[in-house]
Amino acid sequence: MLYGEYELADMNGFADFHVEIRYVPNLKRLFDPEIRFYFDGMPSFSVLPAQQSFPTLEWGLNWCVAAHSHHYLVVHAAVLERNGFALIMPAPPGSGKSTLCAALMMNGWRLMSDELTLYDRNTGHIYGHPRPVSLKNRSIDVISSAFPDSIMTTPVMTESKGMVALLKPPESAVVSATVPAKPRWLVLPKYEQGTEARFERQGSARTFALIAEQSFNYDLLGLDGFNAVGSLVDQCICAKFTYSDLDEAMSLFQNIEAHLHEVASATP
């Protein structure tokens, strides 16, 4: 249901990562089965209830990329594309990033990733790896109500993130998975109940600090990491975005270029 549009790899070809979800052998297996994520044959992460298999697979895949793909600057941020340009949305948990990402994806933006922005330090382009969007708690009902034709897994309760469901990306996003985009907009989203949707100016220095903080390998890359973050920020119009209503948010993002130029030209 979730991965049906993805191309199957050649079983004899090269693979970056070999992963598995395995049952944990114990006496509880018949009544309360548990699973574990395996990376290159080695057990990784904690033992979890079997109903968390789908989220565990997704979290494990994200970890594989974030922990090993150091030819990119890897940033914890959603990224979507329109007309060849990338919208990057870094944000801590609880900011409404995934909700906004899912809504934009369902409104014509191409999903590149809900979790990881891969910045090529040599070309200055963004690469994606679109996979199911992880929705949590209230976001599940918000997206399923706003987009009744959306396809998602049955929500499951997790200890670390609460209720989680995975939203299937459009086939067009999967087909275009290897197509890069040029960074254009760097927006820091924040959900605030009852507030009017609005963009606000965000300074480059603050944005640089946030990107460095949200990067998985900034410290590891050393000077290359510093230069990569600077290059990424320099290519983008930077702003904060506060919202509570998805329809208002989608209306502003429809004309994001005009809104952000207006914000960027405003007196600090």
Higher-confidence residue of 261 and 267: namely: 261
Same domain for 212 and 251, yes or no, is: yes
- Does residue 11 sit within a domain? no
Using pLDDT thresholds of 50, 70 and 90, give the confidence band for residue 267: low
- Does residue 185 sit within a domain? yes
pLDDT (0 to 100) of residue 28: 66
Taking the CA atoms of 10, 11, 12 and 16 in sequence, report the sign of the dihedral they define: positive
**87-144, pLDDT tens digit by residue?**
999 977 778 888 999 999 999 999 999 999 999 999 999 998 899 999 999 999 999 9
Same domain for 61 and 78, yes or no, is: no
Tokens standing for 57? 């697979």
- Does residue 1 sit within a domain? no
Same domain for 77 and 43, yes or no, is: no
Same domain for 106 and 158, yes or no, is: yes
**203-253, pLDDT tens digit by residue?**
999 999 999 999 999 999 999 999 999 999 999 999 999 999 999 999 999
Tokens standing for 152? 């998602």
Structural domain of 48 = 17-68
Residues 56, 21: contact at Cβ < 8 Å? yes
Percent of the chain with pLDDT over 70: 98
pLDDT (0 to 100) of residue 247: 92
How many domains are there within the chain? 2
Mean pLDDT of 21-44: 87
SS3 95: coil
Same domain for 47 and 82, yes or no, is: no
